[in-house]
Structure 1
Amino acid sequence: MALLAVVSGVGLVVDDRVLVGAPIWFKPFKFSVSFVAYGLSLAWMLSLLDRGRRAGWWAGTVVAAASVVEMAIITGQVVRGKRSHFNHATPFDEALFNAMAVTVVVLWLATLAIAVLLLRARIADRASAWAMRCGTALALAGAAIGFLMTQPAPGQTRGSSSVVGAHSVGVPDGGPSMPLTGWSTTGGDLRVPHFVGMHALQLLPLLLMVLTALASRPRFARLADGRVRLRLVLVASTAYAAAFALVTWQALRAQPLIHPDGVTLTAAALILAATAAGTCAALRRSPTTTVPSQEVDETKELAA
């Protein structure tokens, strides 16, 4: 995927073709970079399993294989100058899109298997365990948004339309869009919740890494308590899930991400307020002890 990202980057420079309102090599570039982050995150999580490692190896291998098939089809269609997603123009194009649909289902099920293994794993640091579990669950929810995109948009009919399905809601694909992301600025866009959900797999563990790094500084000594970090991870995961639900609801109402209405802004404000309150509560020290949980464990081991 890293190599394909480089190839696609070169394609963006030397190939000026445009497809559905975007540079034709933008999709393989975007997907390959996303798969790099996705694969590295899952590989790291699988390395922490204390049991079911063989099942985890198989699930990871299935994810890798399905990803390769997906990207081979996307890149092949770019070379042909054809769209890969929602393309029913010819029997061959339809067969390729159907094959992609199968690989996505297989990839999703393999990720689900990894999520179950992580749920059963005995990971010493509970904050790390729940950051990974919540991140994987949200990534599965984000990936599932892709199935909504395959439904016929207004004016499309299965069996007769050359294109069945769309990223945008309320407007045709390929219209005015945000730079870099390509998300619609005139209607809803299901790629927004798809992106937000999928990247919880990286962002929640990254948050924990930041908290752990800060815990070593005297100014943030309270974070050295493992229970405080766990509470903060749970608050962040809940807030992330609420934000994911909000952008999904916004997209389904045919509302652009950058043009929210009053209802959306009110919901966002409530999420922010609840998150702030939850963060303040999570930062309170446990009334039973002020000693970091890791130090308590070490003291017990020395006593034994």
Structure 2
Amino acid sequence: MLRWHRPLMVSTGLMSVLAVVTAVALVLDDRTLDGLSVWAKPLKFAVSLAIYSFTWAWLLSLQRRERRWGRRAGTVLAVAGVAEVALITFQAARGHRSHFNATTPLDGILFGVMGMMIIGLMVANIVAAVAVLLDRQADGPSTWAVRLGLAISTLGLASGGLMLGPQPGQSVDGGVIGAHTVAAPDGGPGLPLLGWSTVAGDLRVPHFVGMHALQLLPLLPLVLAALSSRFPVLAPERVRQGLTVTAGLVYAGVFGLVLWQAERGQSLIHPDGLTLAAAGVLVLLAIAGVVVSTRARAPRQVPMTTPVPTPTPAAAEAAR
């Protein structure tokens, strides 16, 4: 019987309610910040943390041997995540930036507190990941999906550190320390709601892609198992495991690609030839992985036959 992690489930519920509230506020409040509604950021973070918390509650519930330190790490995840989103929402209500903001003493203090929450979240993520990885999941595909999802999501979470610290031309006196955008100021043209830059690199892209590997990859074995009754090629576990590993490695490649693209100051929606070539290589590797995996079926069973005894010379003579 699953034992759900209560603090993480509470976090899921709170963030779900907050997502609804901020969505309504986004429609009713016409204030903007950096070209987007002041409520766009808390809405995005509320939805993201709701999914993140639920996924961790599920992963920790799968442990066959419960580890107290793993569950405590889950509690830290819940508390740190809720505290950070609460501060983001508070700053949005004030019409102030939440991240990289040192314009006033209060803004600087709040951003410093959020920095501590982020560090706590990262450490707790690693500890909880170790607790989950010490257990083998129900089958090979699920085990590999969780392993790869945890590894990539940890890297995605850590990539947020690239946004911190003074960027070229910034100083404490300027009131802004850190940035999402590479090769352009924050607040320029961006994608609707997401705000990702359409004219320069944006480190929020790899941060988002990496973190949500934890939700997407563990779903794949469930989908493949459901499809195996309709498509016999997916019936062998080793085939589903191969496809899961392929998906995980390709996902890691996509994370690396969008991180490399952002660091080069290139918008996600305006890739150059080099980026497209790298994406093409990933597509070829994905196809090769699918082909190899679907051929990795269980070895054919050779039917057992009863050996025909060889007659002795005496028996052969008697038969004549």
TM-score calculated relative to the size of structure 1? 0.91
Q: Is 1:98–2:109 an aligned residue pair?
A: no
C-alpha deviation, 1:289, in angstroms: 4.4
**Residue 246 (structure 2) aligns with:** 235
Distance 1:116 1:18 in 2: 41
**Residue 67 (structure 1) aligns with:** 81
- SS of the counterpart of 2:254? helix
Distance 2:300 2:120 in 1: 47
Q: Is 1:246–2:257 an aligned residue pair?
A: yes
**Residue 296 (structure 1) aligns with:** none
What are structure 2's unaligned runs of at least 5 residues?
Answer: 1-14, 302-320
Distance 2:189 2:298 in 1: 55
Q: Is 1:204–2:217 an aligned residue pair?
A: yes
C-alpha deviation, 1:287, in angstroms: 5.3
1:77 to 91, 102, 105: 91
Q: After superposition, give the CA deviation of every residue in 1:6-28 in whole Å (9 maximum; x if it has no partner).
A: 11011101111101111000000
Amino acid at match of 1:180: L
- SS of the counterpart of 1:143? helix
Coordinate RMSD, CA, aligned: 1.2
More displaced, 261-270 or 123-132? Answer: 123-132
1:268 to 275, 279, 295: 279
Asked whether the 8 Å contact 2:163–2:178 carries over to 1, the reply is yes
Q: After superposition, give the CA deviation of every residue in 1:3-50 in whole Å (9 maximum; x if it has no partner).
A: 110110111011111011110000000000001110111111111111
Distance 1:289 1:54 in 2: 45
**Residue 24 (structure 1) aligns with:** 38
Q: After superposition, give the CA deviation of every residue in 1:219-256 in whole Å (9 maximum; x if it has no partner).
A: x1121211111111111110000110000000000000
C-alpha deviation, 1:275, in angstroms: 1.0
2:178 to 155, 165, 170: 165
What are structure 1's unaligned runs of at least 5 residues?
Answer: 291-304
**Residue 318 (structure 2) aligns with:** none
How many residues align? The count is 287
1:258 to 225, 248, 269: 269
Q: Is 1:179–2:192 an aligned residue pair?
A: yes
Matches within 5 A, 1:140-159: 140-157=154-171, 159=172
- SS of the counterpart of 1:140? helix
State the structure with more CA Rg. Answer: 2
Q: After superposition, give the CA deviation of every residue in 1:254-283 in whole Å (9 maximum; x if it has no partner).
A: 000011011000000011001100110011
Runs of 4+ deviating beyond 6 Å: none
Distance 1:71 1:182 in 2: 18
